[in-house]
Structure 1
């Protein structure tokens, strides 16, 4: 299934169009609910009617009735719709080459991409204020060892995060999975260890298996993923990427930004320990002549 364009066609546009129309014409409670879903579509897979009602001071029944009025079978129906609208590949293009070329030449295409990225940064900032963010930072700072795993074309971003994290703390390792077993993690004593698993659509077949095996072995887990991931548990520590609306291909600016913001939080919360660590690394870089002297 191909991702929908921002012109409102297809399932992606249908969900947003219904919500935007309700913001303009609904009752006060409906407008509050519509605005909540517009702002939090990325977090819908981890919400319940009760949790949404609690945040908005409405009853779970009001939430369910609202969604049924929009044509969904309650919250589960909306979750199913959001899963079905995922693309099968990050490189499928929904517009014709002529349309893309025209919109590139008149500036519309790049304007859409930049607007989407700006909105994503605002949503990531909001995410950084949530309790789950503080918990993720705590785990990254207090774990005795941190293992980072990722796959395919986002593996480079995750590896860069692991290398940056190693500047702030010791005991960081990137798992490339080339040995086919992940024994360096799964045969490792689990006490004080954390697996950071980074995966977005299309999901790697190994992600679910590695997460399951790591949890079963007693390792802590931090998952960085998107709203289409349907295997993370509600009680797990999950940082969910905001939804994007690109009509060319999935850009990974949001993932890079999330990991960069997360790194900034680790540095800030790590305080003096991080400062001492970075000073030691800087001295060793000078000793071994890694960089030209200015």
Structure 2
């Protein structure tokens, strides 16, 4: 397995691969890899000759310094996990200086309002940071395809918008959410949960499933009130937001239209760990 921490060395390696007409997939990650990441990697391997997995904790997408500091990091464990998947994986592990130089700041993007709701409303500047790092990695790797999980569905839509507006020649592929046996969406942050709270956090997915059932017969407004009431009764989990939104625009929805697709989005604090999830409703 090749591991690069310099952009120039990676670019030279990729030039050789392209000369062989090899297709390249990119899976951007912030490390602390789990089976959710591995599912992305396996999908990329099935669709490309070579897969680049970036491992980089991006400082510009954290709105809270303490959250950045606590983010789990174990590069050697990540590399060993990837070695067990395939030899057709290249790991890119640049430093912050290698990526940003002396200017560790985000670019400003126009996302047509996709960044103003849900995560964007609670995490100032987050999606400018996401757009910045994803664009940098896309331009560095120049993949045929790049893979992102639907757990961060709002992020996925924003990346698609960025690629389209910048006219970048890369295919963005969304992949289904991988879940733990109890239904909790897989996340690197789950490792920070106590065993008891990690089990209790299955309540998030159970609530989404019930909301999906209710969506067939009840209004969005009634479902929002029901979800809030459920979390008011739960003493271990604190609801930050629950929103039903149209998939393409992410616009909050109170009145359903038969020709549109909707998702329920949720953010919850479990102890001091922030968890997000979503589920298509129709």
Q: TM-score, normalised by structure 2?
A: 0.28
Q: Find the structure with the greater CA-based Rg.
A: 1
Q: For CA contacts below 8 A with separation 6 or more, give which structure has more relative contact order.
A: 1
More helix by share: 1
Q: TM-score, normalised by structure 1?
A: 0.27
More strand by share: 2
